């Protein structure tokens, strides 16, 4: 009886030691070391006919990488360890919701913005990845008209695309 009482007294200490030893190697973040520390984001180019999308996506890309903080953005490719090039490759609209008695009158569309990204090591001129597909989608309601709704959705699509590009560049490949 005395022996089990002594064991119960040390049981919380043993459990705490086992628990804390399991947490000893934990570290916050992705746990990967990047192969570059500075990044130049080239102005976005476009193969689509979306007005003003290039400047908007370029600004969102710079903002997303700046907010992440794992790399330092530079203003010229010569000063960068790596260069990111993004090309807008497609913009599609598909009917998502229509009236049951009038299928020609759509209430909601799904708009999809597609891009490809290439990340190049500026020192060795070797590509980390080439033409990686990035696709984002958003629902657009046509209550105020299709054109104004799409115009309002474009900054949101650009922010989503910037987030996808950030993950593609900075997370483990």
Distance separating alpha carbons of residues 143 and 102, to the nearest angstrom: 16
User: pLDDT tens for residues 82-113?
Assistant: 999 999 999 988 877 766 776 666 777 888 99
Residue 83: how many other CB atoms lie within 10 Å: 22
Tell me the three state secondary structure of residue 36: coil
Tell me the three state secondary structure of residue 14: helix
Distance separating alpha carbons of residues 87 and 44, to the nearest angstrom: 6
Mean pLDDT of the 110-133 span: 93
Residue 30 CA neighbour count, 13 Å, CB half: 14
- The pTM of this model reads 0.75
* pLDDT band at residue 37 using 50, 70 and 90 as cut-offs: very high
Q: What percent of the chain has pLDDT over 90?
A: 49
CA distances 162 to 20, 50, 64, 147, Å, are 38, 17, 6, 23
pLDDT at 22 over 80: no
Burial class (CB in 10 A: 0-12, 13-18, 19+), 153: middle
């Amino acid at each position: 009886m005395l022996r089990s009482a002594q064991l119960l007294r040390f049981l919380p200490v043993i459990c705490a030691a086992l628990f804390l030893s399991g947490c000893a190697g934990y570290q916050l973040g992705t746990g990967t070391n990047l192969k570059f520390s500075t990044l130049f984001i080239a102005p976005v180019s476009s193969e689509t006919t979306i007005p003003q999308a290039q400047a908007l996506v370029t600004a969102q890309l710079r903002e997303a990488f700046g907010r992440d903080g794992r790399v330092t953005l530079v203003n010229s490719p010569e000063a960068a360890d790596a260069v990111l090039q993004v090309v807008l490759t497609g913009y599609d609209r598909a009917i998502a919701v229509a009236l049951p008695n009038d299928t020609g009158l759509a209430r909601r569309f799904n708009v999809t913005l597609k891009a490809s990204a290439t990340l190049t090591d500026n020192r060795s001129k070797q590509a980390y990845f080439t033409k990686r597909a990035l696709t984002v989608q958003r629902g657009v309601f046509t209550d105020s008209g299709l054109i104004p709704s799409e115009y309002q959705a474009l900054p949101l699509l650009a922010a989503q695309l910037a987030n996808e590009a950030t993950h593609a560049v900075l997370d483990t490949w």
